[in-house]
Amino acid sequence: MAELKSGRIVEWHRLSATLSLFRLVGPEGAFFPPYEPGQYIALRREDCLLTRKVKEGDEIRYVPDVDEAGVQKRGTVTHSYSISSAPFETTAGNYLEFYVVLERDREGVLGRFTESLFRGVETHTNERLAYLERIVGDFTLAKRAKGFEHVLMVGTGTGLAPFVSMLKQLHFDAQRGTKPPARYTLLHANRTFEELAYHRELLEIEAAQTFDFVYAASVSRPTARDLADPQIGTGRANNILRQVFSLPPREEAAVVPVTPRERPLALLQERIDPARTVVLTCGNPNVMADIAWIAGQTGMRFEKEDW
């Protein structure tokens, strides 16, 4: 049984009202277990607003779990998150980093864990965060991409986390003489430019050319600033991928899918040979399902992060 340890949130960086980056440090003198990029860890909060599951026909909803006085109950909730820091960063700085979203369902009910996570952190009144001293998961390059010449990564929203861990570690290793044999392409989409976590760092890794890597970012709610940026495309990640294969958008898109001007469609089409490509995806379940369909149509190997 993994030991539960008391950690602390540091360097909380809010990207938007619902998205943040933060680092977790352990108790003084403690070190995190070794891990591979793409793995995850279980985090625990003690003061979460609890919900209960309600089934109505075929639909499942979550509603606040209240006591006899109508007050929402509080309790312990554990939630697993992919680690966005790279192993070399954890070795050097003894922290884990995460890219998280404040979850909210269609009826506005906040996610039990993330409501607690976001509450009071910026006022330094709610920084305690427990973690299980075990890092696990097989969504790693060694398990999911072995033997492929091209690794296509598609991350939606916070689904970027395992991929940024992988890419930072690949860059670090390549700088020290261990260059990966495969080539890598990352498609990352979010709603706004501000929510594209690690955008500048990924551009810097691409520009360094320490290994064969192309990064294409897009936003689904573009502004005039985004439309003028040659390094930003428009549309959802799955519709960008559909465009690469000359497939129609999944739905009538409010925003036409367009690749960044500095990452033209022809470049992506040239890189993605389906017979030699494995597509790894993490993020929105509906988008992942559509990427699975695209892979089936084109002959790519499909792998997703699914706990």
Domains and CATH numbers, the chain: 4-136 (2.40.30.10), 141-304 (3.40.50.80)
206 CB burial (10 A radius; 0-12, 13-18, 19+): buried
Q: Would you state the pLDDT for residue 51?
A: 87
Is residue 32 within 8 Å of residue 42, measured between CB atoms?
A: no
Residue 211: half-sphere exposure toward Cβ, Cα within 13 Å: 26
In angstroms, what CA-CA distances link 122 with 9, 70, 185, 197, 233? 10, 29, 35, 19, 32
Instruction: Give residue 18's pLDDT.
Output: 92
Task: Tell me what pLDDT residue 107 has.
Answer: 74
pLDDT the model gives residue 262: 94
Q: For residue 253, what pLDDT is reported? A: 63
Amino acid at residue number 287:
V
* Tokens read off for 120: 């009071």
| Digitized pLDDT (tens) for each residue of the chain, 307 residues in all | 689 999 999 989 999 999 999 999 999 889 999 999 999 999 999 889 898 888 887 888 888 888 999 998 999 999 999 999 999 999 999 999 999 999 887 777 788 899 999 987 877 777 899 999 999 999 999 999 999 999 999 999 999 999 999 999 999 999 999 999 999 999 999 999 999 999 999 999 999 999 999 999 999 999 999 999 999 999 999 999 999 999 998 876 667 899 999 999 999 999 999 999 999 999 989 999 999 999 999 999 999 998 6
Q: What is the pLDDT of residues 195-216, one digit of tens each?
A: 999 999 999 999 999 999 999 9
pLDDT in the model for residue 291: 96
Give the closest residue to 277 by CA, choosing from 187, 175, 162.
Answer: 187
For every residue of the chain, DSSP letters joined together read: -PPEEEEEEEEEEESSSSEEEEEEE-STT--PPP--TT-EEEEEEEEEEPEEEEEETTEEEEEE-B-TTSPBPEEEEEEEEE--S-HHHHHHH--EEEEEE--B-TT-PBPHHHHHHHTTTTTTS--EEEEEEEEE---SHHHHSTT-SEEEEEEEGGGGHHHHHHHHHHHHHHHTT---SSEEEEEEEESSGGG-TTHHHHHHHHHHTSSSEEEEEEESS--HHHHT-TTEEES-HHHHHHHHTTPPPSS--SS--B--TTS-HHHHHHH--GGGEEEEEES-HHHHHHHHHHHHHHT-EEEE---
Question: What pLDDT was estimated at residue 21?
Answer: 96
Whole-number pLDDT of residue 59: 82
- Taking the C-alpha atoms of residue 51 and residue 27, their distance in angstroms, rounded to an integer, is 30
pLDDT of residue 307: 65
Q: What is the pTM of this model?
A: 0.94
